[in-house]
Structure 1
Amino acid sequence: MKKYVICGVSNRALEMFIKPILNEFSKENEIVGLLDSDPLRFSICKERYPKLEQVPTFNPEQFETMIDQTKADYVLVTGRDDTHVDYILRALYKQVNVITEKPMVTNAADAYKVMLAEAESKGKVIVTFNYRYSTFHRKIKEMILEGKVGRITSIDLNWYIDTYHGSSYFKRWNRSREISGGLSIHKSTHHFDLINWWLNQRPEEVFAYGALNYFGKNGEANPRKESGRYCGTCDVRNNCSYFRRWNPRIGSTTVRDDHLLAGVYEKEVPYTNYRPDACIFDEEISIEDTYVAAVKYDGGSMLSYSINFSAPYEGYRLVINGTKGRIETTEYHEPSRIPFEYPEQKVDYYPLFGGKETIELVKEPGGHGGGDPILLADLFLGPDPSRNYEILAGSEAGAYSIAVGEGVWRSVAEKKPINIKEILFQTDNQLTKF
């Protein structure tokens, strides 16, 4: 029986990890401790999952006490992004394994600290990059390994976050670079890791442009230039296009918000000092909502990447070019929020000399394109022995995804190319590929 302690009793912890451990993987795994700075989160967790009623709770200062008392085998890190590095380093110092949500940490310097600490510890780090596990993403990996495209020369990846999901990041703590690293880290590390994994190459250099086009004090849809508003009490919210798009004047008494299970009105949010409905046009917002970046890899491949956090629909377009062929796919996310008909995702393969091949795949249930359940099985039952390639990500993969994300926002700020090794402080060429 493997023992887990949860560091950060977030909504992601409740739904993504605690629920399946209790309901699907309880024969092999058990939760033996909960840690958070907000005692109200313990109450909510135990009310939702009565099986945890007798599980001890701890505050962050009691981390070492928790490890000693519970004899935990794994620390599961699911708190706010800026808390990750502390829990990871303390767990490795105690020789305990770590499973952490992405991003592993919020900056490249801390990522390097994690790699160094892991090298000196008996504990190992796993980063839960669930996008790797999507049905289509695994198929693309397999096609690359089969040599279908040959040596990869370039990748084009254009990602679109819709007005519902995109604006949610600017209502919460994600809008602070000090806490989240900015969206090129908090969100785009998903995408950079996927590319790094497909290529099995290390990123060397990044050059990017970025801007705050939609949100912040100069957002064109701002109904009134005034900071400090909240959607739940705002007197001009019915003049706000982002609010009106998802909250009609009649028939709606609460404000929907992506990734949240609680309502956004202050009386409905049960957590201490937490409002997830801050105004998306606040003056304090300074991170970017639009990026275009180019990344060069040590194996000769190049990536052209863009992301927009205020699009009419959600999804991505991907092209992989190689010396033997080309892969194309387009995915539309969140169908309930798309107001038009759209095609089902397929993978098109074009050999360099020959006819087109279209691959249709059975969609698997679960979040992140069916990836979540498969990732959870690998975490709590062990890697699938029938899979002939590695898919679980470690600290190095987490670090390189963060380094690219930091390179993106630094390139925007400094108006120059950013060397990945320089910001990662990584000089040990013996680190393994991912």
Structure 2
Amino acid sequence: MIKRYAVCGVSNRAIGMFIQPIATTFSGSAEVVALLDIDPRRHEVCKSKCPQVAQVNEYGADEFARMVSETKPDVIIVTGRDDTHARYIIQALEQDLDVITEKPMATTGADCRRIMDAEARSKGKVTVSFNYRYAPIHTRIKELVLEGKIGRITSVDLNWYIDTYHGSSYFQRWNRVRANSGGLSIHKSSHHFDLVNWWIGQTPVEAFAYGALNYYGPDGELNPEKRDGRYCASCDVRQRCAYYTRWNSRSASLTVKDDHLGTVRTDRPAYSGYRPDACIYDSEIDIEDTYAATVRYDGGALLSYSVNFSLPYEGYRLAISGTKGRLETMEYHAPSRAPFPTPVQTIDYFPLFGSKETIHVVMRQGGHGGGDPVLLEDLFLGPDPNRSYRILSGARDGAYSIGTGEAVWRSVKENRPVRIAEVLQYD
């Protein structure tokens, strides 16, 4: 039986991650029957990139009910801007439809609560496409935990580094406004919190954090001139901007790769008047670029987490400690952008008493460290029957990753520990 999919939010991510694979690799078990977006031009771009969906019906942002009535999808794929996710997830569940949604599932704990309540009343189920879980290194870490190599987990140290190319991009785009993205402790860090939650098999209870806007916004110390409304492509002081000159030459025309738009021209508006090259020093930026947090778990584990969105290289350092030993790994996520040679990632295992082991993991091709292709197989062919543990994530997983992220930024603002149950409105 071929499942019918409707896509809400025809972003570049939607096209590359879902629409094209459905139309090609998984065409024997899936088909796209509807496209919904706020901007008709997105439909046009999608169909030019993927001619297999040229005849698929198009709908506006407020035509969800008509879309479902006319095209009768089995599953809704939600891939628009973060703040639109909850709206379409809940509408789908109210129609007893299954949902596949990009992370973050929502941008607030309150919307997570609404989604979980709607799912409890519905025949439909929510799947959150946390592709980081599927990277070979990450699945091997999960397996080592399940094998008991570490014992009872007591602490996790996770330090995430975003380089000046990737980090500044969030402050050029829609992500820089909290109402759109929930802030980077949700938009980005929900990936990281989900990984930790999944690896250790415990539920986060409480978070305390510090955070700041250190690099971007009008007070960024590398701001060449305090002035709002600039765009990189036309900025008259861009040659005095270190973030611009690090990645662009004086003779090269600027192109900006947007996660949801792809590579777009910046000499004219892209979609719906939106430009992905806004100045990283604008005063409308209301999110943080640096966090340090401690999270307490119901099984006794403690997470020490930090993330920085303006560093010379990209990657992370991870250590998981327990009553029998410790795992450590270091990843350089974008080696082509690092100004030095980067080693192949391995996992070091240190038993509490004994000799160190270095574990080499077989890598795969594909996005997100080889995770995307395997995630797609699980989504469109069903979970791998040879895998002995659960990896696809649901609404509860999505909620706790977001609940932790919101607790982090609320702790920053309110200078107090914040309970996850408070954020997700369990109290």
Structure 1 residue 270 displacement after superposition: 3.7
Structure 1 residue 266 displacement after superposition: 3.4
User: 1:112 & 1:104 partners in 2: Cα distance?
Assistant: 11
**What residue is the counterpart of 2:40 in the other structure?**
39
Instruction: Give the partner amino acid of 2:372.
Output: D
User: 1:392 & 1:13 partners in 2: Cα distance?
Assistant: 19
User: Deviations along 1:396-417, whole A, 9 cap, x unmatched?
Assistant: 0000000000000000000000
**What residue is the counterpart of 2:218 in the other structure?**
217
User: 2:230 & 2:89 partners in 1: Cα distance?
Assistant: 35
Q: Does 1:276 pair with 2:276?
A: yes
TM-score after normalising by structure 1? 0.97
User: Deviations along 1:359-386, whole A, 9 cap, x unmatched?
Assistant: 0012110111110000001001100000
DSSP 3-state at the match of 1:262: strand
Q: Does 1:21 pair with 2:35?
A: no
**What residue is the counterpart of 1:78 in the other structure?**
79
DSSP 3-state at the match of 2:264: coil
Structure 1 residue 258 displacement after superposition: 5.2
User: 1:121 & 1:234 partners in 2: Cα distance?
Assistant: 51
User: 1:289 & 1:266 partners in 2: Cα distance?
Assistant: 28
Structure 1 residue 255 displacement after superposition: 2.9
**What residue is the counterpart of 2:366 in the other structure?**
366
Instruction: Give the partner amino acid of 2:385.
Output: P
Q: Does 1:127 pair with 2:134?
A: no
DSSP 3-state at the match of 1:306: strand
Q: Does 1:295 pair with 2:264?
A: no
Counterparts of residues 189-338 of structure 1 (less than 5 Å): 189-250=190-251, 252-257=252-257, 259=259, 260-267=261-268, 270-338=270-338
Q: Does 1:355 pair with 2:350?
A: no
User: Deviations along 1:204-249, whole A, 9 cap, x unmatched?
Assistant: 1000000000000000111110011000110001110000000011
DSSP 3-state at the match of 1:288: coil
User: 2:271 & 2:110 partners in 1: Cα distance?
Assistant: 31
User: 2:216 & 2:276 partners in 1: Cα distance?
Assistant: 16
TM-score after normalising by structure 2? 0.98
User: 1:138 & 1:11 partners in 2: Cα distance?
Assistant: 27
DSSP 3-state at the match of 1:254: coil
User: 1:180 & 1:362 partners in 2: Cα distance?
Assistant: 34
Instruction: Give the partner amino acid of 1:293.
Output: A
DSSP 3-state at the match of 1:24: coil
Counterparts of residues 29-108 of structure 1 (less than 5 Å): 29-108=30-109
User: 1:203 & 1:416 partners in 2: Cα distance?
Assistant: 16
Structure 1 residue 264 displacement after superposition: 4.2
DSSP 3-state at the match of 2:267: coil
DSSP 3-state at the match of 1:6: strand
User: Which stretch has the larger CA shift, 252-261 or 418-427?
Assistant: 252-261
Check the 8 A contact 2:256/2:263 in 1, yes or no.
Answer: no
User: 1:415 & 1:203 partners in 2: Cα distance?
Assistant: 19
Structure 1 residue 263 displacement after superposition: 2.4
Check the 8 A contact 1:227/1:283 in 2, yes or no.
Answer: yes
User: 2:303 & 2:380 partners in 1: Cα distance?
Assistant: 34
User: 1:204 & 1:407 partners in 2: Cα distance?
Assistant: 10
Structure 1 residue 256 displacement after superposition: 3.6
User: 2:407 & 2:25 partners in 1: Cα distance?
Assistant: 39
**What residue is the counterpart of 1:170 in the other structure?**
171
Structure 1 residue 336 displacement after superposition: 1.3
Q: How many residues align?
A: 425
User: 1:220 & 1:266 partners in 2: Cα distance?
Assistant: 27
Check the 8 A contact 1:29/1:380 in 2, yes or no.
Answer: yes
Structure 1 residue 41 displacement after superposition: 0.5
User: 1:264 & 1:189 partners in 2: Cα distance?
Assistant: 30
DSSP 3-state at the match of 2:327: strand
Structure 1 residue 295 displacement after superposition: 0.1
User: 1:319 & 1:305 partners in 2: Cα distance?
Assistant: 11
Check the 8 A contact 1:126/1:392 in 2, yes or no.
Answer: yes
DSSP 3-state at the match of 2:291: strand
**What residue is the counterpart of 2:408 in the other structure?**
408
DSSP 3-state at the match of 2:303: strand
User: 2:125 & 2:286 partners in 1: Cα distance?
Assistant: 35
**What residue is the counterpart of 2:395 in the other structure?**
395
User: 1:313 & 1:121 partners in 2: Cα distance?
Assistant: 45
User: Which stretch has the larger CA shift, 129-138 or 255-264?
Assistant: 255-264
**What residue is the counterpart of 1:430 in the other structure?**
none
**What residue is the counterpart of 1:2 in the other structure?**
3
User: Deviations along 1:28-52, whole A, 9 cap, x unmatched?
Assistant: 0000000001011011111111111
User: 1:98 & 1:404 partners in 2: Cα distance?
Assistant: 22
User: 1:324 & 1:409 partners in 2: Cα distance?
Assistant: 34
Instruction: Give the partner amino acid of 2:33.
Output: V
**What residue is the counterpart of 2:383 in the other structure?**
383
Counterparts of residues 140-155 of structure 1 (less than 5 Å): 140-155=141-156
User: Deviations along 1:246-281, whole A, 9 cap, x unmatched?
Assistant: 00113x1123435352324133x5422110000000
DSSP 3-state at the match of 2:211: strand
Moved over 4 A (4+): none
Structure 1 residue 76 displacement after superposition: 0.1
DSSP 3-state at the match of 2:355: coil
User: Deviations along 1:101-149, whole A, 9 cap, x unmatched?
Assistant: 0000000010011001001100000000001001000000000000000
Check the 8 A contact 2:220/2:281 in 1, yes or no.
Answer: yes
User: 1:243 & 1:120 partners in 2: Cα distance?
Assistant: 50
User: 1:176 & 1:62 partners in 2: Cα distance?
Assistant: 26
Instruction: Give the partner amino acid of 1:330.
Output: M
Unaligned runs of 5+ in 1: 428-434
In angstroms, what is the RMSD of aligned CA positions?
0.9
Check the 8 A contact 1:247/1:256 in 2, yes or no.
Answer: no
User: 1:138 & 1:212 partners in 2: Cα distance?
Assistant: 33
DSSP 3-state at the match of 2:156: strand
User: 1:57 & 1:256 partners in 2: Cα distance?
Assistant: 27
Instruction: Give the partner amino acid of 1:59.
Output: G
User: 1:272 & 1:177 partners in 2: Cα distance?
Assistant: 20
Unaligned runs of 5+ in 2: none
DSSP 3-state at the match of 2:277: coil
Check the 8 A contact 1:254/1:263 in 2, yes or no.
Answer: no
